[in-house]
Chain A
Amino acid sequence: MNFPTELKYTKDHEWVRIEGDIATVGVTDFAQSELGDIVFVEIETQGETLEEHAIFGTVEAVKTVSDLFMPVSGTVVEVNAGLEADPAHVNNDPYGSGWMIKVKLSEGADLSSLLDAAAYEALVG
Chain B
Amino acid sequence: MKNTSLTEKHVALGAKMVPFAGYNMPVQYAGLTQEHHCVRNAVGVFDVSHMGEFWISGPKAFDLIQYATSNDVSKLFDGKVQYSCLPNATGGIVDDLLVYRLNEEMYLLVVNASNIDKDWNHLSELNKEFGATMVNKSEETSLLAVQGPKAAEALQSLTDMNLSEMEYYTFKIGTFAGVENVVVSTTGYTGAGGFEIYFPNENANEMWDKIFAAGAPQGIEPIGLGARDTLRLEMGFCLYGNDINDTTSPLEAGLGWITKFSAPFLNSENLKAQKEAGVTRKLVAFEMIDRGIPRHDYEIGDANGNVVGVVTSGTQSPSLEKAIGLGYVPTAMTALGTEIFILIRGKALKAVVVSLPFFKK
Contact = CB atoms under 8 A, between A and B. Distances in A.
A62 B345 contact: no
Interface in B219-256: 226, 229-230
Interface stretch (A21-29, A33-41, A69-77): A33-41
B295 A62 contact: no
Contacts of B292: 40, 42
A58 interface: yes
A37 B31 CA distance: 7
B229 A63 contact: yes
A61 B32 CA distance: 10
Contacts of B315: 62-63
Contacts of A42: 291-292, 345
B291 A62 contact: no
B316 to A, nearest CB: 4
B333 interface: no
Contacts of B32: 36-37, 61-63
A5 to B, nearest CB: 26
Contacts of B28: 36
B226 A60 contact: no
A16 to B, nearest CB: 24
Interface in A36-68: 36-37, 39-40, 42, 58, 60-63, 65
Say which size band chain A's interface belongs to.
Answer: 10 to 19
Contacts of B230: 62-63
B345 A39 contact: no
A65 B31 contact: no
B33 interface: yes
Contacts of B316: 39-40, 60, 62
A60 B31 contact: no
Nearest to A67: B345
B218 to A, nearest CB: 23
A13 to B, nearest CB: 16
Given A36-B28, A40-B316, A60 B33 contact: no
A37 B229 contact: no
A65 B31 CA distance: 16
Contact of A58 (B226, B229, B318, B345): B345
Which 8 residue pairs across A and B have the least CB separation, nearest first?
Answer: A39-B316, A37-B33, A60-B293, A62-B316, A62-B32, A36-B32, A63-B226, A37-B32
Interface of B: 28, 31-33, 226, 229-230, 291-293, 295, 315-316, 318, 345
Given A37-B318, A62-B315, A65-B295, 11 more contacts: A36-B226, A39-B293, A40-B293, A40-B316, A42-B291, A60-B293, A62-B32, A62-B230, A62-B316, A63-B32, A63-B229
